[in-house]
Structure 1
Amino acid sequence: MQKILVIEDEFEIRENITELLHAQNFQVIAVENGIKGITAAQTHIPDLIICDISMPELDGYRVLEALRHEPITASIPFIFLTAFVEKSNTRKGMELGADDYLTKPCTPAELLSAIAARLAKQATRDRQQSEKLEELRQSIILSLPHELRTPLNGILASSELLLMHFDQPEDADTREMIELINISGKRLYRLIQNFLLYAELELIAASPEQIKALQAHSTPCAEALVTEKAVYQAQQVHRQPDLELELEDAYLQISPTRLMKIVDELVDNAFKFSVPGTPVKVACQVSQGIFTLSVSDKGRGMKPEQLMQIGAHMQFDRKLYEQQGSGLGLAIAKRLAELHGGSLSIESVPAEQTTVTVKLPLAPE
Structure 2
Amino acid sequence: MKKILVIDDEEWLREMVHLALQQKGFEVVEAENGERGIEIARKELPDLILCDVNMQKVDGYHTLSSLRNEPATASIPFILMTGLADHAGMRHGMELGADDYLPKPFTIEALYAAVDVRLKKVTAVRQEAERKLADLRENISLMLPHELRTPLNGILAYGEILSSDSATLQPQEIAEMGQVIYHSAKRLEHLVENFLIFAQLELLGSDPQKLQALRKETASPASLVEQQARAQAERANRPNDIRLDLKDVPVQMSDEYLGKVVGELVQNAFKFSQPGTIVDVELSGAGEHVVLVVTDRGRGLSPEQITKIGAYMQFDRKMHEQQGLGLGLTICKRLVELHGGTLSIQSEVGRGTTVTVKLPRASRQ
Alignment map for 1:114-133 (pairs within 5 Å): 118-129=117-128
Three-state SS of the structure 2 residue aligned to 1:327 is helix
Deviation at 1:127, TM superposition (A): 3.7
Deviation at 1:303, TM superposition (A): 0.9
CA deviations on 1:24-64 (whole Å, 9 max, x unpaired) are: 8799798xxxxxxxx99x97988589xxxxxxxxxxxxxxx
What is the alpha-carbon distance in structure 2 between the residues aligned to residue 243 and residue 168 of structure 1? 42
State whether residues 2 and 26 of structure 1, in contact with CA within 8 Å, keep that contact through their aligned partners in structure 2. no
What is the alpha-carbon distance in structure 2 between the residues aligned to residue 115 and residue 351 of structure 1? 58
CA distance 1:135–1:174, change in 2 (3 Å): same
Task: State the partner residue of 1:276.
Answer: 275
The answer as to 2:224 corresponding to 1:225 is yes
CA deviations on 1:53-84 (whole Å, 9 max, x unpaired) are: xxxxxxxxxxxxxxxxxxxxxxxxxxxxxxxx
State whether residues 268 and 325 of structure 2, in contact with CA within 8 Å, keep that contact through their aligned partners in structure 1. no
Deviation at 1:114, TM superposition (A): 6.9
Task: State the partner residue of 1:213.
Answer: 213
Task: State the partner residue of 1:202.
Answer: 202
The residue type paired with residue 299 of structure 2 is: R
State whether residues 337 and 344 of structure 1, in contact with CA within 8 Å, keep that contact through their aligned partners in structure 2. yes
Task: State the partner residue of 1:318.
Answer: 317
Deviation at 1:176, TM superposition (A): 2.2
The answer as to 2:187 corresponding to 1:184 is no
CA distance 1:300–1:222, change in 2 (3 Å): same
What is the alpha-carbon distance in structure 1 between the residues aligned to residue 194 and residue 200 of structure 2? 10
Deviation at 1:117, TM superposition (A): 5.3
CA distance 1:2–1:286, change in 2 (3 Å): farther
Alignment map for 1:44-55 (pairs within 5 Å): 47=99
CA deviations on 1:128-169 (whole Å, 9 max, x unpaired) are: 4556779999xx9xxx9xxx9xxx9xx79x98xx9xxx9999
State whether residues 293 and 356 of structure 2, in contact with CA within 8 Å, keep that contact through their aligned partners in structure 1. yes
CA distance 1:313–1:24, change in 2 (3 Å): same
Task: State the partner residue of 1:354.
Answer: 353
Q: Percent identity?
A: 43
Three-state SS of the structure 1 residue aligned to 2:222 is helix
The answer as to 2:354 corresponding to 1:363 is no
What is the alpha-carbon distance in structure 2 between the residues aligned to residue 326 and residue 222 of structure 1? 24
The residue type paired with residue 200 of structure 1 is: Q
The answer as to 2:224 corresponding to 1:241 is no
CA distance 1:296–1:43, change in 2 (3 Å): farther
CA distance 1:305–1:234, change in 2 (3 Å): same
Task: State the partner residue of 2:302.
Answer: 303
- Structure with higher Rg: it is 2
The residue type paired with residue 192 of structure 1 is: V
The answer as to 2:270 corresponding to 1:287 is no
What is the alpha-carbon distance in structure 1 between the residues aligned to residue 131 and residue 353 of structure 2? 37
CA distance 1:29–1:202, change in 2 (3 Å): farther
The residue type paired with residue 308 of structure 2 is: Q
Question: TM (normalized to structure 2)?
Answer: 0.60
Task: State the partner residue of 2:7.
Answer: none
What is the alpha-carbon distance in structure 1 between the residues aligned to residue 285 and residue 272 of structure 2? 28
Larger deviation: 111-120 or 318-327?
A: 111-120
Structure 2's unaligned 5+ residue stretches are 1-48, 52-78, 102-106
CA distance 1:44–1:348, change in 2 (3 Å): farther
CA distance 1:27–1:219, change in 2 (3 Å): farther
How many residue pairs end up in the alignment?
262
What is the alpha-carbon distance in structure 2 between the residues aligned to residue 208 and residue 184 of structure 1? 38
- The two structures, once aligned, show a CA RMSD in angstroms of 4.1
Structure 1's unaligned 5+ residue stretches are 4-21, 31-38, 50-107
The residue type paired with residue 335 of structure 1 is: R
State whether residues 313 and 326 of structure 1, in contact with CA within 8 Å, keep that contact through their aligned partners in structure 2. no
Deviation at 1:295, TM superposition (A): 0.3
Task: State the partner residue of 2:252.
Answer: 253
CA distance 1:130–1:235, change in 2 (3 Å): closer
Task: State the partner residue of 2:264.
Answer: 265
Deviation at 1:274, TM superposition (A): 0.5
CA distance 1:113–1:198, change in 2 (3 Å): same
CA distance 1:180–1:288, change in 2 (3 Å): same
Deviation at 1:109, TM superposition (A): 9.6
CA deviations on 1:184-211 (whole Å, 9 max, x unpaired) are: 1110110001100111111211111111
